[in-house]
């Protein structure tokens, strides 16, 4: 019975870690800077936040690029289109899409895409929605050190510690 309890607790932590994952853009995808809208897609589980914010980032540039593309996106939708900023898409390599929790939660990044490129000639567009540039503090870097992994569980260290505490309590 005790072994079953331990396995059940371990399964819960594994299931919780399999949250939001960005599926598009994928690694080495190319977005055309002359196209106004692009599609962002992801998978999620029922325990994820009900909404998220989509942010275009590039931590390989100075200053870092950090542009909010769309807020209050329904997480369970699985995909949405995002409009280019009114000045057009920035171009280059090393871009990523962050799926952030709503700013009121204060937790941060739920998932991050692999790196992709934006190529072509930048075209200024009339935006139908507002895009907000969020300044990055000097010396910031992406949360996973640029490993290119799709998901980031910023709460994972906390979950791990709680899990160890629960397992320790069960074994005691």
pLDDT at 159 over 50: no
CATH number for region 20-150: 2.60.40
CA nearest 91: which of 114, 55, 123, 68?
123
The model's pLDDT over 62-94, given as tens digits with 9 standing for 90+, comes to 999 999 999 999 999 999 999 999 999 999 999
Give CA–CA dist 41/98, Å, rounded: 11
One-character DSSP codes across 132-156: EE-PPPTT---TTTT---SB--TTH
Q: Which of 68, 49, 26 is nearest to 110 (CA)?
A: 49
pLDDT at 122: 79
In angstroms, the CA 54 to CA 111 distance is 10
Please tell me the distance from the alpha carbon of residue 36 to that of residue 122, in angstroms, as a whole number. 10
The tokens of 82 are what?
Answer: 């995002």
**pLDDT tens string 123-149:** 776 645 444 444 433 333 333 333 333
Rounded to an integer, what distance in angstroms lies between the CA atom of residue 109 and that of residue 153? 8
The reported pLDDT for the residue numbered 161 is 43
| Residue pLDDT, tens place only, 7-63 | 344 444 444 456 899 999 999 899 999 999 999 999 999 998 899 999 999 999 999
Q: What is the pLDDT of residue 144?
A: 32
């Amino acid at each position: 019975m005790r072994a079953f309890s331990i396995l059940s607790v371990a399964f819960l932590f594994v299931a919780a870690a399999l949250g939001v994952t960005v599926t598009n853009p994928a690694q080495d995808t190319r977005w055309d800077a002359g196209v106004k809208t692009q599609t962002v897609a992801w998978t999620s589980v029922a325990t994820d936040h009900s909404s998220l914010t989509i942010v275009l980032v590039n931590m390989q540039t100075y200053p870092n690029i950090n542009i909010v593309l769309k807020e209050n996106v329904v997480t369970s939708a699985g995909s949405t289109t995002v409009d280019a900023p009114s000045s057009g898409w920035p171009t280059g390599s090393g871009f990523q899409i962050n799926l952030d929790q709503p700013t009121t939660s204060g937790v941060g990044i739920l998932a991050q895409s692999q790196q992709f490129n934006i190529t072509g000639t930048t075209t200024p567009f009339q935006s139908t929605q507002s895009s907000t540039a969020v300044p990055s503090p000097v010396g910031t870097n992406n949360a996973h050190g640029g490993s290119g992994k799709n998901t980031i569980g910023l709460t994972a260290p906390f979950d791990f510690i709680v899990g160890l505490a629960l397992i320790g309590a069960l074994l005691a």
